[in-house]
Amino acid sequence: MVSLGLGAVLALAALGSAPDGETKPAPLVSKDKAELKLATPASAVPIESRPYRIRAWLAIDPRARVDLRGREALVAGWKRMVARFVGAPWELEIAEGDGPLATNSLDGISPELVESESKGFDKSWLFRLEPHSDGLVFSGREFDAATGRIGLLCSETATIVADGPRALLQLGLSVFAPSAEIAESSSGNQKIRVQGAMLPAANSIGEVVSVGSVFRPTRIFYKADGKGIQLVTPIKKTYLRVESLQGGVANCAIISALGNPFTTKVVGKAKMVAVGLKPASIPTRLRFMLSVADGPAIPGTKPEPRPAAGYDVVAVPIPDGLPRPVGTTDREGRIVLEPGFSAGLVSLRLMAAGIEPLIQFPIMPGEQAEENLITNVDPKPATVTVESELNSLRDEIVDLIAVRHRLYAKIKSRGEAETPNWPEVKQLLEDFKTLPPSANYEGRLKRLEESLANQQKASNRRVVLTRTAKKLIEDTQALIDRYLDDEDFNSFGRAVADYEKQTRAGNAVSKSLPKAPAFPAAGSAATTEAGSGVTLAPPGSGFRAVMPGPPAEQNSMTPDGASEIRSFRFTDTANNTYLVEYWDYPVALTPELVTRVIDTERDRQGAAFPSSTLTRELPVSIDSQAGKEIEWETTAAGTPPSGFVCRIVTVGSRVFVIGFGGAKASLKGKPALDFLNSFHVIGRGNSPSPATAPASSAAATPKASEPQKSAPAATPKARPKPNSNANPF
């Protein structure tokens, strides 16, 4: 029996002062502790400040070998644990004897067996102690006086009797279900007044209610004479989840599969209450049955519902968990979810083809021991068929997006390079034109949408155009609009067209411009011996240089394919390379273009050494022609550093490159400097600057009787680059 002193203190704290300032009378305590009553009725105390009056029975199996003294020690320790961790919210009385468990098992307990011995109490606990392979096991169930229902069976284990009080406390917390009254509703939420919520708990684990607590709304129907409960009906597929607390009032989100779970249109006298709910450590058993309309159509027979066999079940923890598959229904439409598949309230979905949720409802794991039967499940065959086609269409679009992305990356790298390769960009754009256009997919999507809409019109009862189907259509259209837009490719197409237009215009201008003066031949042979070296002076080249030995000649094209490059290369026994190259720019070079052409040639030379580093770039002058001297360094693992130094100069429209490559230490050695300094422009005397070279050549041939016509200056425009900010993927 609980201490009378503690009960009196709690009673006085609950009573306080009367509204008119008079002190309420002290509680009257009867001599029989089992019939403890207060002078003020419990109904006069607000439910939020009303503690739970709990009567408990503890039946001990003789095989547990706990004698009377051990029982007293166990009960005393249990009371101390309750006072330490729960405190004011519970007024626990531990009755003598086994009570209803004297002649009944926990599985066989019915409300009628407990109700007569629970008058004056809010809750009744029936606990049993039995031996276990690990020591002792404590099992129990709760009887709720307000609803007349008995809760699920819970259990806790203890290794020795000394651990029993802690196991009993945990068992009490497990079976305890707080009670609440339904208050007003607002903005889709429901407020409830929770019994004992205003009473401070001794520890957080003893709090009656907290954010995240779940309640099951229940209707209590009373008899016509008002003298008893006729029926207790929990509202199906409906729960209240506490989102905030203000005093003893909890603001709850309504989580329900019903449209209006709190309707007042009921027959008879009824009251709405809410009972706390927690996950139980028992399997959750479900069975799904398809609607009768989908039964076998056999002439002369009545269609029967078929099991929903082979459907996936997905669990989504409430309020914001991620979907997770938890199993598949068997041939009978059944599925068993083991304890612990979810730590709290969860939304279950029965999925067709992993796409369309056929039915969705909230459930608390293990809330009932018997099988939960869900009937009239619509398989939505037409919807699932179209959604499968939509998913197939989406897969095709995603594959196309990947191909377009790779193609665009190639086009962008070549079109936005320092020296754009427009011919290759043009070829890549031709490859792009062979891909399926976005209009094809838009047409297929439109036809699928129209198919769903037509089937919906033809069906009066079934929902064919579901929210999932609508969302899938919207997402597919958004995928087409965002990633199948051709503007990025079209911008490069316009850039290629501009390049070709400029090339045609440049060719036309170059034909009308006066040619640069011909370089006189320096002998009939391309090379002549000169002391210890070879003098290189190819006819018409316009330069002279001395190499250590006879070079090899090679011809190639510039990256844009507009000019031919003539190269003369010699490699000595020390693996040093001597190089002279020249090529003609398609149009005459203006002063503004000279620097650009030299920089472009510098980049072309550097591209031949992909792992090199530019270490030096200085202006130089060769025979009064301005140019640059550039040096690169290359370092490879396991080899000594090497490098390449070259001088670049333009004369008229001709570009010259003189280069030496070898070990890093040899770049400033005598052979390199002798070779670089041996290069000279020949055949022009004091060569004019690039700006005046074309004019002087034009003045060399005009007739005296004809006025000279000046050619328009040709200044190629910078080649346009497409928008580099576009990202197709």
The per-residue pLDDT for 59 is 93
Interacting residues of 10 by C-beta distance below 8 A, sequence separation 6+: 51, 88, 91
The per-residue pLDDT for 436 is 92
The whole-chain average pLDDT of the chain stands at 81
Question: Where residue 527 falls among pLDDT bands split at 50, 70, 90?
Answer: low
pLDDT in tens, 136-151: 999 999 999 888 889 9
Per-residue pLDDT, averaged over 12-36, amounts to 37
Report the length, in residues, of the chain.
Answer: 729
The per-residue pLDDT for 8 is 35
pLDDT in tens, 561-596: 778 899 999 999 888 999 999 999 887 788 778 888
Q: How far apart are CA 87 and CA 64, in angstroms?
A: 29
Per-residue pLDDT, averaged over 294-302, amounts to 59
Does residue 524 have a pLDDT over 50? no
When mean pLDDT is compared across 163-172, 419-428, 715-724, the lowest value belongs to 715-724
Query: Which residue, among 557, 577, 561, 567, has the nearest Cα to 666 in the 3D structure?
Result: 577
When mean pLDDT is compared across 109-118, 457-466, 522-531, the lowest value belongs to 522-531
Per-residue pLDDT, averaged over 346-367, amounts to 90
The per-residue pLDDT for 716 is 39
When mean pLDDT is compared across 240-244, 274-278, 310-314, 723-727, the lowest value belongs to 723-727
pLDDT in tens, 65-107: 989 999 999 999 999 999 999 999 999 999 988 889 988 889 8
Looking up tokens 């006086």, which residue turns up? 145
Element (H, E) at 694: helix 693-698
The per-residue pLDDT for 299 is 63
pLDDT in tens, 609-659: 877 888 999 999 888 888 999 999 987 777 788 999 999 999 988 999 999
Does residue 529 have a pLDDT over 80? no
Does residue 695 have a pLDDT over 50? no
The per-residue pLDDT for 136 is 93
Per-residue pLDDT, averaged over 105-114, amounts to 89
Does residue 194 have a pLDDT over 90? yes
The per-residue pLDDT for 201 is 93
pLDDT in tens, 210-251: 999 999 999 888 887 767 777 888 888 899 999 999 888 999
Q: Which residues in 660-673 are b (16+ Cβ under 10 Å) and which e?
A: bbbeeebbeeebbe
Per-residue pLDDT, averaged over 322-339, amounts to 93
Q: How far apart are CA 253 and CA 258, in angstroms?
A: 14
Does residue 704 have a pLDDT over 70? no
